[in-house]
Amino acid sequence: MVIWRYRSFVDAEVKVPTLDNVSVDLMVVLGTTSMPIHQVMRLSRGAIIELDASEQDEVKVLANNLPVASGVVVVNRNRIAVEVKQMLPRSPDRR
Please, are residues 61 and 26 in contact by the beta-carbon 8 Å criterion? Answer: yes
**CA-wise closest residue to 75 among 30, 24, 25:** 30
Beta bridge partners of 71: 59, 84
**Does residue 85 or residue 17 have the better pLDDT?**
85
Question: What domains can you pick out in the chain, each with its CATH number?
Answer: 24-90 (2.30.330.10)
In this prediction, residue 6 carries a pLDDT of 41
Task: Encode pLDDT of 34-85 as tens digits.
Answer: 999 999 999 999 999 998 888 788 999 998 889 999 999 888 888 888 899 9
pLDDT of residue 80: 85
pTM of the predicted protein model: 0.62
d(CA 69, CA 59): 9
Q: To which H or E segment does residue 25 belong?
A: none
